């Protein structure tokens, strides 16, 4: 249920088909199309079919995933933070990625987007971003202290103050090199000086039931971040009691 790749039809290829096949060939460089400067769509208007930017990836959303995408876009347009609580295996990751990509491709928001996930799932997030949002420059911010210092120095920002003597420094949002940053819960807390200085357009928290207690360090650290919009992903929004659900909603 994670989404499907379209089957290629048979028959004589037209020029347009040849160009499309070239764009989908992983051995060839893709044609990068910059996002529009201004919004070109109305977020209140639902997609009744897959948008072109998904068609161009060669992938296909299931109908319920397209409905989820419509709901996320509408909620973002209304400024309403959301919890996506589809059951495990129904493609919450894909719906999230296509949501962020739609904001970017249609001129509503260029990022930056912060995705916080368990370390064991970050590889899957990387793979899905590459598949469903190929125009995104996605950085995976993990590793030991020295590895992260190298990432800050070369990958995150054009601002030299982002890494001073191997230590994380503050970063200016307009000097960032990336669209999406993938990282773990722990590094959200450890490198708060650097990551917390960025004005994040969207925060995505995977397996958000981790926030079920407002006494957790992760909960308190996130409260200090500058975040315009929050999207929580969990297959179990209610595990033990209503208090846990309250903390997610809060």
Task: Catalogue all structural domains in the chain, each as residue range(s) with its CATH number.
Answer: 4-249 (3.40.50.10810)
Residue with tokens 């997610």: 248
| Residue 163 near residue 149, CB atoms below 8 Å | yes
For residue 103, pLDDT beyond 70 = yes
Residue found by looking up tokens 């315009």 in the block: 228
Number of Cβ within 10 Å of residue 80's Cβ equals 10
169: number of Cβ within 10 Å? 16
- Residue 141: in which H helix or E strand, if any? strand 138-141
Phi-psi region of 226 (alpha: psi -120 to 50; beta: other; left: phi over 0): beta
Structure-token match 């060669």, residue found:
58
Nearest to 170 by CA among 202, 144, 188, 196: 196
Statement: residue 46 has pLDDT above 90: yes
Highest averaged pLDDT of the listed ranges 37-46, 133-142, 200-209: 133-142
- Residue count of the chain, please give it: 250
The pLDDT, as a whole number, for residue 67 is 95
Q: What is the pTM of this model?
A: 0.81
Per-residue pLDDT of 5-36, as tens digits, reads 554 444 444 444 444 454 445 545 555 677 78
What is the torsion angle, in degrees rounded to the nearest 10, for the CA atoms of residue 21, residue 22, residue 25 and residue 30? -130
Which tens digits make up the pLDDT trace of 125-139?
Answer: 999 999 999 999 999
pLDDT in tens, 108-128: 999 999 999 999 999 999 999
- Among 110-124, 158-172, 209-223, the minimum mean pLDDT is found in 158-172
């Amino acid at each position: 249920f994670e989404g499907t790749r379209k089957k290629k039809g048979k028959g004589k290829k037209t020029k347009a088909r040849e160009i499309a096949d070239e764009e989908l060939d992983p051995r060839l460089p893709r044609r990068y199309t910059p996002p529009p400067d201004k919004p070109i769509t109305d977020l209140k208007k639902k997609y009744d079919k897959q948008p072109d930017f998904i068609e161009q990836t060669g992938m296909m959303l299931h109908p319920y995933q397209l409905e989820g995408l419509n709901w996320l876009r509408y909620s973002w347009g209304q400024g309403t933070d959301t919890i996506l609580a589809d059951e495990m295996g129904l493609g919450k990751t894909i719906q999230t990625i296509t949501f962020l990509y739609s904001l970017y491709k249609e001129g509503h928001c260029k990022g930056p987007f912060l995705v916080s996930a368990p370390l064991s799932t970050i590889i899957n997030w990387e793979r899905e971003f590459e598949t469903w949002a190929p125009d995104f420059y996605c950085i995976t911010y993990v590793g030991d202290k020295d590895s992260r210092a190298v990432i800050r120095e070369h990958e995150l920002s054009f601002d030299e103050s982002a890494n001073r003597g191997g230590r994380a420094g503050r970063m200016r949002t307009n000097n960032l090199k990336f669209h999406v940053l993938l990282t773990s819960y722990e590094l959200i807390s450890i490198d708060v000086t650097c990551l917390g200085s960025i004005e994040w357009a969207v925060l995505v928290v995977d397996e958000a039931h981790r926030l079920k207690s407002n006494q957790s360090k992760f909960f308190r650290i996130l409260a200090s971040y500058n975040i315009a919009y929050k999207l929580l992903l969990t297959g179990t929004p209610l595990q033990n009691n209503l208090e846990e659900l309250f903390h997610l909603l809060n």
